Amino acid sequence: MDEEGWYSVTPEEIAIKQAQRCRGKVVIDCFSGVGGNTIQFAKVCSSVVAIDIDPMKTAFAMNNAKVYGVANRIDFVTGDFMQLAPCLKGDVLFLSPPWGGPTYSKVESYKLDMLLPRDGYSLFQTALSITPNIIMFLPKNVDLAQLEELAWLSSPPLTLEIEESCVGGEIKAITAYFKSNPTLSSRVDSLTHESHNMTKSMKLKKRSRLKKGIKSTIKKENGSSHKYWIQRYDLFSRYDQGIEMDEEGWYSVTPEVIAIKQAQRCRGKVVIDCFSGVGGNTIQFAKVCSSVVAIDIDPVKVELAMNNAMVYGVANCVDFVIGDFIQLAPSLKVIFLLLSISFIYISAFLTISFDPFVVVALMY
């Protein structure tokens, strides 16, 4: 081992466990170092590609793999994972990037942008272009909410399992296992065809709406709208991909990071978004819930929400309803009910009796 190897190699007990999860697969160890993980993968996987940017590390890893008698099961590559990524194919990607030296333990909450050679989000996106089956080996003080975000914000969303990686019963690190969610993926796939047809009719409607003079965006750099405009990516991270809003939408849409958290609490349920507006909540529910009904009294809002749900590729997971929630309520069957309402409406809703769980989100 070289100096860095001593503090960066994955302890064998942990590497064995991580490898067991990849049994029989083709694994790419993207930051292989002196081979701690590579060797264990080679023992149980169908083949292993071990990449490290440092030729000395590759030489050490080859030597160490020979010691374990597995060198012939590994393709060693000296190179930059970020540059090699477009040419890589594999079943599982293992990421144990540098944590930034021993100081990682000094911070209370380790953020993904502290990872090297690039921030964790870029690394993850690069990995995702190869396979959704990604394993990340991270400091034990890593911000778990950021890991959840990686999973939720993938399209389609991924499942995430966090494992405490221990040596002799003591937690040394965290291993995050990401993989595709077959239920959601197959639903999105099977409905893609319908989505194309809807896109066509939406385009026609959009044209007529614009003719009628309905404002679709407020790209003003000055005046009262400016403060909303600069927050556009907080409202919709895919803003530039065709998101549309009316004037009210700008100040009433639930910011995406909040909508994601609310949706997490409803995973797998049937959700009725009773005041869906331009779709901030609806979209996030559609990503993780078994089905979503989106109700709004304003037909323009419903049309905008449909457009925005299409931008996120989830329009077909949502039943859009133009109507008055108060009037529709008696006929709604609810597992989870989201009331994203302004205070003035609260008393009206409290007079309606719903027996199941009620989530009240007061956004204003």
Ligand X SMILES: C[S@@+](CC[C@H](N)C(=O)[O-])C[C@H]1O[C@@H](n2cnc3c(N)ncnc32)[C@H](O)[C@@H]1O
Q: Which of 93, 91, 92, 62 is nearest to 78 (CA)?
A: 62
Integer angstrom CA distances of residue 47 from 79, 188, 329: 19, 32, 57
Site string for ligand X, 268-297 (x = CB under 6 A): ------------------------------
- Token pair listed for 264: 């997490």
User: Whole-number minimum distance, CB 52 to ligand X, in Å?
Assistant: 5
Applying CB under 6 A, does 96 fall inside the site for ligand X? Answer: yes
91: how many CB neighbours lie within 10 A of its CB?
16
The answer to whether the bond into 117 is cis (omega within 30° of 0) is: yes
Q: Which is nearer to ligand X, 35 or 279 (CB)?
A: 35
Structure tokens at 187: 């639903």
Which residue from 19, 22, 20 is spatially nearest to 37, judged by alpha carbons? 19
User: Which H helix or E strand runs over 138?
Assistant: strand 134-139
Q: Which residue in this structure is represented by tokens 């919709």?
A: 236
The residue sitting closest to ligand X, measured at its beta carbon, is 36
Stretch that binds ligand X, among 3-11, 157-165, 343-351, 354-362 (CB under 6 A): 3-11
Kindly state the smallest distance separating residue 21's Cβ from ligand X, in Å.
Answer: 15
117 binds ligand X (CB under 6 A): yes
Q: Measured from the CB of residue 16, what is the shortest distance to ligand X in angstroms?
A: 12
81 interacts with ligand X by CB under 6 A: yes
Q: Is 82 in the site for ligand X (CB under 6 A)?
A: yes
Min CB(40)–ligand X separation in Å: 9
10 binding ligand X? (CB under 6 A):
yes
130 binds ligand X (CB under 6 A): no
With respect to ligand X, which residue has the nearer C-beta, 117 or 268? 117
Q: Which of 285, 235, 290 is nearest to 263 (CA)?
A: 285
Site string for ligand X, 15-44 (x = CB under 6 A): ----------------xxxxxxx-------
Q: Which amino acid is at 148?
A: E
Residue owning tokens 């009620």? 358
* Beta carbons within 10 angstroms of residue 144's beta carbon: 14
53 lines the binding site for ligand X (CB under 6 A): yes
Please select the residue that binds ligand X; options are 13, 75, 80, 319, rule is CB under 6 A. Answer: 80
Alpha-carbon distance of 231 to 57, in angstroms, equals 44
Coil/strand/helix, residue 161: strand
| Nearest distance from C-beta of residue 310 to ligand X, angstroms | 36
Rounded to a whole number of angstroms, the minimum distance from the CB of residue 20 to ligand X is: 16
Query: Among residues 251, 210, 209, 213, which one has the least CA distance to residue 229?
Result: 251
Least distance between ligand X and beta carbon 104 (Å): 11
Chain positions contacting ligand X, by CB under 6 A: 8-10, 31-37, 51-54, 57, 80-82, 96-98, 117
